[in-house]
Chains A and B, each alone.
Chain A
Amino acid sequence: MKATIRSSTAVKALVVVAVSILSGAAWGQLSEPISPLPLAPAADPRKVELGSKLFRDTRFASDNSVSCLSCHSFQHGGADPRPFSVGAKGAVHIFNTPTVLNSGLNIRQQWTGGAASLEELTNLVVKSPRVFNSSWEQVIGKLSQDAPLVQGFKAAYSDGMTAKNIADALAVYQRSLMTPARFDRYLRGDANAITPVEKLGYEKFKAYGCVGCHQGSNVGGNMFQRFGAVGDYFAARAAAGRPITDADRGRYNVTKNPEDLHVFKVPSLRNVALTAPYFHDGSAKTLEEAVDVMFRYQLGRTAAKADREAIVKFLGSLSGEAQKP
C-alpha cells in the first residue's frame, strides 16, 4: 500500500515537473522578441492581380516614366539600390526608399510614419512631386483608357475603377508581399534552418540590445526611435561633410512635436541583406557599416568584430526564401 502511494506521488511529481518544463518552453517561445512571420492575410485574388498590374504601371507618373516597381525592385529586397530614388520628371527623393516587402506589418508607412496605412501611402505618392507628381484625375484619366484594366476593376469592385479602389488594390497586393525566411523556420522549431554562426548572431543580436527596437514579427517596423539615441549621429555626419537636411528632422515633420526631432520609424530588418544602402539618408553602403553605426549611435556600445560579423550573418537569415517576382 505504502509503496503504491509513494509511486503515485512520484508520478505526480513527474507530471508537475514535465508540465513546468513544457510551460517554461512555451514561455520561452512567447517571450522571444522576434516572432515568425504571419501568413499573408486572405485576399481576393482578382484584387491582388489588379494590384500587381498597377504596381508595375508607369501611368501613375505624370510623365509615364516610373512605376512603383521602379523604386521597389524585387531584385533589391523590395527597395532601391540607389541612395535616393528618382521619381517622375527626374525628381530626386530626399529619403532612401524603404522596402515594400512585409510593409503591411508596419505600424505606419514611410520613414516618418507620414502615412497611417498603405492606402494612404498610395494617395501620398500619387501626388508627391518627388514620386509620381500626378493627381488622381490624371491617373484615372490614363488608366480608364485601358479597357481590360477597367473591366478587371468592374469585376473586382462593385463601383469599378475609383481612386479608393486603386489604392485598395495596391494595398491588398502589398499586404500579400510577405517573405518568410529561413529564420522563421528556425523560430517555428526547425533548429537546423539557420547555421550555427547565424544562431550565434541572433544571440548577439539579443544580447547587445538590437532587439530593443528590432523585434516583433517584422523585426522592427512597429515603433519609432530617435536616430542617435546615445550618440549624436547628425552632428557626426555633418562633421563628415553631410549637412543636416529637412529630411533629417524625421517624424517631427509630421507631428511638429519637438520630442519627435530626428525620430524615425524603426525599419524592418527582413531582407535587410538585400536592401543596401541603409538608413533614411542612404548613408551606409554596406550592412556591416550600418551595424557599426547602430552600435555607436543607438546602443552606445562597442562590440567584438566576431560578434558584429555574426550579427550580419544572422541578418542574412532574414531574407525571404522564395522571392516574389
Chain B
Amino acid sequence: MMQRPTLRLLASAALLGALAAGWGYLYSNSRAVNTDRQNVTLGLLKDLKQIDTDWGADVLRSQADIIKSYDPLVRPLHAIADVIQRLEGDPTVHQDASLMEAVQSIRAAVARKSDYIDRFKAQNALLKNSLNYLPTARRDIENGMGNAGDSTAPAAVPVATPKNAAFVPVRWEEAVPLLVNDTLRYYSVPDIGVYDTLRGEVQRVRLSLPGYSAEVREPVGNLLLHVETILKLRSRQNDLLRDIASVPVQASVDDLAQRLTTRFDVALKEQASNSRLLLLYSAMSLALVFGAAGWIAYRNATERRRLAVLLERQTKVLKENEAQLIHAQKMNALGEMVAGITHEVNTPLAAVRSGLQSTRELMGVISETLQKDAELAQAVAAADGNRAEPLAQRLRSSVEAHQELASVDAVALVGQLVDGGIRSVDHISGVITNMLNFSRLDRSRIAPARLEEGLESTLAMAAHFLSGVSVEKQFGDTRPVTCDIAQINQVLLNLVRNAAQALPESGGRIQLRTRMASPTLVEVSVADNGSGIPPDVLPRIWEPFFTTKKQGAGTGLGLSTSRKIVAAHGGTLKVVSTSPAGSTFTMVLPVTPPAELQQRQAAAGATAS
C-alpha cells in the first residue's frame, strides 16, 4: 500500500525529467549555431586571403626591386601558420573532416607557394645581381682599357676557328655596349626575338674572346656569364611568377569559406527547424502539463463529489444504525428486564401455586373433617336430648355453623377459588414464558426455528392490541428456518402491529399465512383488510424515520429495521397494497441463511459477551 504512491511519484518525476531533458536537448540544439564564432572564422579566412594577397604583391615588389629585403616574403609564413593553427583549433573546423581537409589543402597550397617563392628569391637574387652588374661590367671593361691607356689599340686579332671558317670576330668595343643594351632591353621585355639575337651575340663574343687582350678577356668573360644568367633566368622568372600566382591559395581559402558557409547555412536551417520543434515541444509539454493538471483537478472534483455523496450516505446509514442500535439496546434492555421480571415473578408465583395446590389438596381433608364433624354433632343432638345445657348449646351452634357453611357451599367455593388462583398463576406463568420465548434471551441466537411458532409467540405478545380482531391462520407445512428467531419475531410483531393499526374500527381481519415458496424458501405473509397504503407513500415506507403515525406514536424505524433484518437473513420483504383492499406484507426467508449472518452474529455475540 505504501509503495503505490511512491511508485507514482517516481514515475511522475521520471516523466518530468524526460520532458525536461528533451526540452534541454532541443534548446541546446536550437542555440548550437554560434554566429560570432562563424564570423571570427570567416574573419580569419579573410585575413588569410589578405596576407596571401600581400605576399603575392611583395613578390612582385621584390621582382620590381621596390623592396630589397626578402623578410617581407618570409613574414607571411609565420602569420599564415598562425592563422592555420587557429583555424585547426576552431571547434567547428576541428570536428568536421571535410573542413579539416579544406584546411589541409590551404596548408598544402601555402607550402607550394612558399616553395615557389623560395625559388623566386634564389633566382631573383641572381638575376638582380647580374642585372646590376651589367653597367658596372661595361664601365669596368672600358675603364680597364682606359687605364691601360690603349684605347686606340687595334681590334682584337680575329682568330679563325676550325668549326666555322666564315666566323668574323667582333670587336669588344662594339660588342660590350651592344650586349649590355640588348640584355637590359631583354630584361625589361623578355621578347623571344631579342633573346635569339642576344644568344647570337653572346656566342660571337665568346668565340671572339681568345682574340682579346688579357686585361679585357676576364671582365668580358664575366659579362658573358651574367648575360647568360639573365637570358637563362629572365623567362623562367616569368614562369615562376605565373606559378606563384597560380597556386590556388585564394581558391582553397574560398573553398573553405564556401564549405563553412554551407555548413553554417545547414546548421542555421537545422537550428531554425530545431527552434520550431522546440516551440512545438514546449507547447505540447505545456498542454500536457496543463492537461494533466486539468485532469487531476477534474478527477479531484469528481472524487470529492463522490466522497460527498458517500459521506452523506454513510452518515445516513450511521444515523440509521445508531438509531437501530439504540432501538436494539432498548429491546435488549427490555429483554433483560423481562428475564429479570420472569425470574422474580416465577419464583413467588411457583410458591403461590404450590401453596394453592397444597390448599386444594387439603381442602378434601378439611371438607371430609367438616362433614364428619357435622354428622357427629347431629347424631349427638338427636340421640340424647338431656345433655347438659352448655353442651347442648355448643352442639346446636356447631350444627348451625355447619348449616350456614352448607348453605353457601363454602368448601366448594374455596375449592373453586383455589382453582381460579391456580389458573391465574398458570396464566401469569404462561405470559412470562411467552415473553421469554419472544425475546429468546435464554438461547443461542442463531438456531433452526419454526416460523409458525414465532407467529404464535408474536400473536401472544400482540394479544392486547388484537382484541376484537379476527386473526385467521393458514399455516403450511414449512421447514424450520435457521435464523435469529428473536429478530424474526420482532419483524413479525412489526408486521402484525402495522396490520392491526391499519384495520378499520370493526370487522378487522388479519390473515397469517405460511408456505414453502420453493424447497428452500419459506414464505410468511401478513395480510390485513385495512385502508391500504396510498401510492404516494408506498415508495417511502422502507425509509428510516418515515412514519404516518402521530408524532411520538411510532419511531419510523419498524419497516426499515425489519427489511434490514430480513436482508441480513438473505431474505426479502415486500408489500402489495391496494388502497381499498388492504395490504399484504410478504417475507421470504431461505432455510439456510448466508454464512455472513452466522459469522456476524458470532462476532457480535463475542463482543456482546
Contacts and interface: CB of A to CB of B under 8 A. Distances in A.
B518 to A, nearest CB: 100
B222 A107 contact: no
Contacts of A16: none
Interface stretch (A82-90, A147-155, A207-215, A271-279): A207-215
B125 A217 contact: no
A213 B118 CA distance: 11
A222 B222 contact: no
Contact of B74 (A34, A107, A207, A226): A107
A212 B69 contact: no
Interface of B: 66-71, 73-74, 77, 115, 118-119, 121-122, 124-126, 128-130, 132-133, 136-137, 218-219, 222, 225-226, 229
B71 A217 contact: yes
B561 to A, nearest CB: 94
Given A107-B77, A207-B136, A222-B74, A216 B69 contact: yes
Interface string A125-158: 0000000000000000000000000000000000
A296 B122 CA distance: 17
Contacts of B133: 209, 299-301
Interface of A: 30-35, 107, 207, 209, 211-213, 215-217, 222-226, 229-230, 255, 259, 263, 298-302
Contacts of B122: 223-226, 229, 263
Most chain B beta-carbon neighbours within 10 Å: one of A33, A35, A215, A222? A222
A300 B225 contact: yes
B69 A215 contact: yes
A120 to B, nearest CB: 12
A209 B135 CA distance: 13
Given A209-B133, A212-B128, A223 B69 contact: no
Nearest to A221: B74
B126 A302 contact: no
Contacts of A299: 129, 133
Contact of A224 (B68, B71, B118): B118
Nearest to B127: A212
A290 to B, nearest CB: 17
B71 A222 contact: yes
A32 B68 contact: yes
Given A31-B67, A224-B122, A212 B74 contact: no
A301 B220 CA distance: 11
B71 A35 contact: yes
Contact of A230 (B69, B124, B136, B225): B225
Contact of A216 (B71, B128, B218): B71
Interface residues of A, dominant DSSP: loop
**Residue in B115, B121, B133 whose Cβ sees the most chain A Cβ within 10 Å:** B121
B256 to A, nearest CB: 22
A301 B222 contact: yes
B209 to A, nearest CB: 15
B70 A209 contact: no
**Residue among A213, A229, A298, A300 facing the most chain B CB atoms (10 A cut-off):** A300
Contacts of B66: 31
8 contacts: A211-B68, A216-B69, A216-B74, A217-B69, A230-B229, A299-B133, A301-B137, A302-B222
A215 B70 contact: yes
A126 B126 CA distance: 36
A229 B228 CA distance: 12
Contacts of A229: 122, 126
B129 A209 contact: yes
A36 B68 CA distance: 14
A33 B128 contact: no
B118 A223 contact: yes
Contacts of B71: 35, 215-217, 222
A182 B160 CA distance: 57
A224 B222 contact: no
Given A215-B70, A223-B125, A302-B218, A209 B132 contact: yes
B119 A259 contact: yes
A230 B73 CA distance: 24
Contacts of A217: 69, 71
B196 to A, nearest CB: 23
Contacts of B226: 230, 300
A300 B222 contact: yes
B70 A216 contact: yes
Nearest to A212: B125
Give me the 7 closest cross-chain CB pairs, A-B, nearest first.
A209-B129, A212-B125, A33-B68, A216-B71, A223-B121, A215-B69, A216-B69
Contacts of A212: 124-126, 128-129
A49 to B, nearest CB: 25
B127 to A, nearest CB: 9
Interface centre among B218, B219, B222, by most A CB within 10 Å? B222
Given A222-B74, A230-B225, A301-B222, A213 B125 contact: yes
A215 B219 CA distance: 26
A19 B499 CA distance: 142
Nearest to B75: A222
Given A230-B225, A259-B119, A300-B225, A34 B69 contact: yes
B70 A222 contact: yes
Contacts of A225: 121-122, 125-126
Given A30-B67, A230-B229, 13 more contacts: A31-B68, A35-B71, A107-B74, A207-B136, A217-B69, A223-B74, A225-B126, A230-B126, A263-B122, A301-B133, A302-B218, A302-B219, A302-B222
Contacts of A31: 66-68
A223 B121 CA distance: 7
Contacts of B130: 300
A209 B74 contact: no
A298 B126 CA distance: 8
Contacts of B132: 207, 209
A212 B124 CA distance: 8
A224 B225 CA distance: 21
Contacts of A259: 119
B189 to A, nearest CB: 22
A31 B61 CA distance: 11
Query: Which residue of A223, A224, A255, A298 has the most chain B CB atoms within 10 A of its CB atom?
Result: A223
Nearest to B137: A301
B115 to A, nearest CB: 8
A209 to B, nearest CB: 4
Contacts of B125: 209, 212-213, 223, 225
A176 to B, nearest CB: 17
A33 B128 CA distance: 13
A209 B118 contact: no
Most buried by A among B67, B69, B74, B225: B69
A101 to B, nearest CB: 17
A224 B69 contact: no
Contacts of A298: 129
B360 to A, nearest CB: 133
Nearest to B65: A31
Nearest to B68: A33
Contacts of B222: 300-302
Contacts of B219: 302
Contacts of B115: 255
Contacts of A224: 118, 121-122
Contacts of B74: 107, 216, 222-223
A199 to B, nearest CB: 18
Contacts of B137: 301
Contacts of B225: 230, 300
A225 B68 CA distance: 16
A230 B133 CA distance: 13
Contacts of B218: 302
A7 B222 CA distance: 57
Contacts of B73: 222-223
Contacts of B68: 31-33, 211, 215
Nearest to A35: B69
Which residue among A35, A209, A217, A259 has the maximum number of chain B CB atoms within 10 Å of its CB?
A: A209
A72 B445 CA distance: 125
Contacts of A215: 68-71
